[in-house]
Structure 1
Amino acid sequence: MDSLLVANFTELSLFECGREKCQPDKRILMDIKPYHIFHYVLYGSGVFILNAKKYFLKKGDLFYVPPGCTAQYYPDPNDPWIYVWIGFNGSRSDDYLNRIGLSIDQPIYHDSKSLELKALFNDLADKYNHSKYLTIESLSVFISILYRMLISNRKKDILLSSKETHIRMAKQFMENNFQFKIKITDIASALSLSPNYLANIFKEQLGITPKEYLTNHRMQKASQYLINSQMSVKEIASKVGYDNALHFSAEFKRIKKVSPTLYQKNNQLSEES
């Protein structure tokens, strides 16, 4: 690979570039480089090994090798890959990579279904092959590649932030209304969400359902009442949204592993002692 440097820009510089159609039996053990390397798979598939982890890649995948690291990669013998590689560095490189989400522990980037990066990587390789050195035009294409990757990752962040916001609003609604006979459909309706969506994001982000969160919150409040008041179990059940004291007691014992009466007695004894 040629290693001719484009004009020495402080924020971002290019060091090498190429496009290769690999032979089915070609295996590469990459030498340590002092700069970052991207490989974008245009066609075919193969295997990439970095930091003792193996990744099976296909068209539209990008794999990243950090500076100072060795890596191995080889094509699928039945579907050998064609890829474009680019070596780069600069004062903003680490910042860009952090924002994109690439690191030694997460070295894979999956292009969108439309493979919007494919044309840009092809254009980058064409510009290099035409001039045989990395020009300012090459740098402009690579900046476009980074920009697309940053925008794509930002959309994921926005989606995640939206989920977190919905969960936070649902929690707030439950904490403000736990004493009433609210259902999950009531919570979803108050937030203009579907019950299925609400259940899915709770399970994804918290590992529990909205109903489990509501029940846990009610039992936490009930625990406080049992310790800090002289109310009966029936009164406390009503305070946390249960018409049926037996149902409340069964739920309390399921979660706290002890009946409300015994919980109250044990805590009162511990306070007295």
Structure 2
Amino acid sequence: MPDVYKQSFKQNYTNNIELSIFNCGLERCAPGQTWGPGIRDHYLIHLVVSGRGTFEVGGRTFAVAPGDLFFARPSQLIRYSADEQQPWEYSWVGFNGACAHKLAAQLPFTDEQPVHHTSDPDGMRTALTNIYSSRGLQPQNEAAMVGYLYLFISALMKETSEAKPHSTSSSSQYVLNAIKYIQFNYSHDISIDDVAKSVGVSRSHLYRVFMLNVGKSPIDYLTDYRINEACKLLRAGNLSIAEVAVSVGFFDQFYFSRVFKRAKGVPPSKYLASQTDAAETPDAE
């Protein structure tokens, strides 16, 4: 058996809230090598290059072979193990961010089928290798890694559309349209009823498809999106807290502060102060 190896890169900090790479790498595992059971706080995609193994999620076990990709969502209890006789070699990328949910909804994975056999294993491997090869701690490295991640996701989305050419009326499409509406209108005084009307479904149906595809309710998604946008504006340092609140669709500053603290653990004033302190502290080597 070839020697085992592991080459990996982990981000400890990211400036990109929209789409952030948490980790990436490539590994040839030892026989029976296992991760889990456990949960991740980000999306995780593995591409099996050679060998075999199993992926366990949702109480089910899936056999995984070369050319297969297996997909884990945040907070899912998962376990994956290399075969004892033919341990796998794989590449992987872990990511999250405000855009991650809508992108994941367009990938060829479902809770019922979290394993997908790619029609282009060499292309997928190259895409993941490009992410890892661009690794580094400088802003330009992060930009390159995220750029290659988008290309990898784009290739997967293409396989989704080819496999389901008539899926535009599916529940995921309602979610995508709702997310687009939120992203273009979050700064206005919109309600979930407005979002539901914009995509032509009832409020209750929108709730169901959001929970299915995103894992959170429409109001939670809207709130999280607004708070993440508020964080960007606070870090920029050009606006007062009241101005930031209005800019992201909160027209009561005190309510904005309560929601912000619930989401981030600190009120916006302390968040702003922490960003200022961080900017004034020189990087330690």
SS in 1 for 2:85: coil
**What does residue 227 of structure 1 align with?**
none
Do the aligned partners of residues 160 and 102 (structure 1) sit closer, same or farther apart at CA in structure 2, a change above 3 Å counting?
closer
**What does residue 33 of structure 2 align with?**
26
- 2:63 is equivalent to residue 56 of structure 1: yes
Q: TM-score, normalised by structure 2?
A: 0.51
Contact 1:65 1:104 in 2 (8 A): no
- 2:140 is equivalent to residue 119 of structure 1: no
SS in 1 for 2:165: helix
Do the aligned partners of residues 2 and 158 (structure 1) sit closer, same or farther apart at CA in structure 2, a change above 3 Å counting?
closer
1:8-19 pair list within 5 angstroms: 8-19=15-26
Given candidates 49, 53, 59, the residue that maps to 1:42 is 49
Given candidates 146, 159, 168, the residue that maps to 2:153 is 146
In structure 2, how many angstroms separate the alpha carbons of the residues matched to 1:153 and 1:71? 23
**What does residue 97 of structure 2 align with?**
90
Residue type of the alignment partner of 2:90: Y
In structure 1, how many angstroms separate the alpha carbons of the residues matched to 2:82 and 2:40? 21
Give the superposed CA RMSD. Answer: 2.4
**What does residue 209 of structure 2 align with?**
none
1:134-173 pair list within 5 angstroms: 135-158=142-165
**What does residue 199 of structure 1 align with?**
none
Given candidates 109, 113, 116, the residue that maps to 1:109 is 116
SS in 1 for 2:41: coil
Residue type of the alignment partner of 1:82: E
Contact 2:50 2:66 in 1 (8 A): yes
Instruction: Name stretches of at least 5 consecutive residues in structure 2 with no aligned partner.
Output: 1-7, 169-285
Contact 1:48 1:71 in 2 (8 A): yes
Identity %: 22
SS in 2 for 1:84: strand
Q: TM-score, normalised by structure 1?
A: 0.53
In structure 2, how many angstroms separate the alpha carbons of the residues matched to 1:21 and 1:84? 9
SS in 2 for 1:14: strand
Instruction: Name stretches of at least 5 consecutive residues in structure 1 with no aligned partner.
Output: 162-273
In structure 2, how many angstroms separate the alpha carbons of the residues matched to 1:77 and 1:126? 30
Q: How many residues are matched?
A: 159
Residues 41-70 of structure 1, C-alpha deviation per residue, up to 9 Å, x if partnerless? 121111111111111111111111111122
